Structure 1
Amino acid sequence: MSAQLVVRKSEDRGYANHGWLDTHHTFSFASYYDYDFQGFGSLKVINEDIVQPATGFGAHPHREFEIFSYIISGELQHKDSMGNVEILKAGDVQFTSAGTGITHSEYNIHPTLPVHFLQIWVKPDNSKLKPRYQTMNFSKSSKTNNLIHIISPVEDHDNSTIGINTDFHMYASLLEPGHKVIHTVQGTKKSRKVYIHLASTGGELSINETTILKQGDGVFVTEVKQGDEIVFESVGDKIAEFVVFDLA
């Protein structure tokens, strides 16, 4: 395998602190713009958000994106125009296919604790899809020293994953110090891309025994194809919580 790895350092991401919201942007978003970072294939947004107690994102519209939240800690209340109301907690992944258009709000109703989560947007293959909502929980025990498959293309996913309307896979892990997991690159096309994000919760992650990520870092992996393996090892003194995006 001749994988090419390019690190996106945490401190190089876009950043804003609005008081109620502390946010980092891997790609151009809102007032942050960087010509060189406007997405990676169909992956268009990775925001790492910390929302303070009793605050949040008021009702706002979306369309033509697959939008999902990966809850790291705390609680996030979701409400949308499809009638869904839910309080999301650590381990939950809340997925919305915005399609022809939805309105939703994301609010931290907890009186004292912040909520920490990843907000991710992916561009679907087709427009004018019917809006859809789904939540699944991926427990701490299932992710510990394991790489759990969370999202997969609708045409070949089963009840263990959330279906997305493009050739895209997401995985997550809680890797204890000294432990390793291996990701086998998915898909059927010759050329694939992989993006890895290490959450800002502590921990350090080695990739293929060379590249080291510290909290908040990410890495672009190119020049890989179906069947190639990427090896992850937790090399710090804390659990490394990370997500993997494998896409066409």
Structure 2
Amino acid sequence: MVAKIVLRPSEERGYANHGWLDTHHTFSFADYYDINYQSFGTLRVINEDIVQPNEGFGTHSHRGYEIFSYIISGELQHKDSMGNVEILKRGDVQFTSAGTGISHSEYNINKIHPVHFLQIWVSPDDKNLTPAYNTKTYPDCLKTNNLAHIISPASEQDSKTIGIHTDFHMFSSILQPENKVAHTVQKSSSGGDQARRLYVHLTSTGGQLKINDGTILKPGDGAFVTEVVSGDEVIFESIGEGAAEFVLFDLA
């Protein structure tokens, strides 16, 4: 099967600059609404956020979704109603199952440098989960010229991944120029070679990324990859002058 690839250009995403927060939205979020970009399967939110020093998101509530932050640079302090207090840095992935309801705050405690991170929401199969919190660290050495497996279905979770309560995988890579990685589309949790979908997001930190047929992503771009089944191979190649850091989602 030949994959269908549709570009999501960075400049076409939702955008807001609140002074303390510079944010881009891949899907409809807050004041940004586009009927064509509301979700992609269970993937509901990809926000690329830059929060200024001594600023942040005050205490607010969530329920239903599984919410995770991928830290690109800076320091993000997390506090929540479960008693968790943690300072997150580059390489950290902080994961919250909001379930029946939690409240939390996310704050840049650094007095000089902004914090840059991806905020991602996924809709689990059960929205009434018991709230839970988890953090794992994925240093650059695990991701350089490699696809690091970060999130997997809870039923398939191992010591290296964070478990999520739906058929969803997340990978991350930092590709040096002229390097490639191949991703094998995951098996569906229900078994068999069922149709799946991928979404790839290239962070705005630099580099360029080529997918399979020559579709090229520039910083901040994303791409929808459909018409693939488990076992298919998708190739990602760094073709810019700088390293290309990207996240890849593989979902039912």
Encode CA deviations 1:122-166: one digit per residue, 9 max, x unaligned.
000012100000000000111100000000000011111000000
User: Which structure 2 residues correspond to residues 48-67 of structure 1 after superposition, within 5 A?
Assistant: 48-67=48-67
Specify which of 220, 236, 239 is matched with residue 216 of structure 1: 220
Contact 1:194 1:244 survives alignment (8 Å)? yes
**Residue 126 of structure 2: aligned partner:** 126
Paired residue total: 248
Does structure 1 conserve the Cα–Cα contact (< 8 Å) formed by 2:63 and 2:127?
Answer: no
What's the counterpart of residue 175 of structure 1?
Answer: 175
Match of 1:206 in 2: 210
Structure 1, residues 196-215: CA drift from partner, whole Å, max 9, x if none? 00000010000014100000
Q: TM-score, normalised by structure 2?
A: 0.98
Alignment partner of 1:231: what SS?
Answer: strand
Q: Does the CA contact (< 8 Å) of 2:58 and 2:106 recur in 1?
A: yes
Report the counterpart of residue 108 of structure 1 in structure 2: 108
2-side partners of 1:53 and 1:180: how far apart? 36
Pairs within 5 Å for 1:70-149: 70-149=70-149
Name stretches of at least 5 consecutive residues in structure 2 with no aligned partner: none
Residue 229, structure 1, aligned to residue 233, structure 2? yes
CA distance in 2, matches of 1:74, 1:65: 25
CA contact (8 A) 1:96 1:132 kept: yes
Using the alignment, how far apart are the partners of 2:138 and 2:109 within structure 1? Answer: 22
The TM-score normalised by the length of structure 1 is 0.99
Superposition RMSD on alpha carbons, in Å? Answer: 0.6
**Is the partner of 1:155 in helix, strand or coil?**
helix
Partner of 2:39: 39
Cα separation, 2, equivalents of 1:128 and 1:48:
27
Match of 2:185 in 1: 185
Whole-angstrom CA distance in 1 between matches of 2:2 and 2:182: 16
Give the unaligned 5+ runs of structure 1: none
Amino acid across the alignment from 1:8:
R
Which contiguous aligned blocks of 4+ residues in structure 1 show a shift greater than 2 angstroms?
none
Looking at structure 2, the residues matched to 183 and 136 of structure 1 have their Cα atoms a distance apart, in angstroms, of: 22
Partner of 2:157: 157
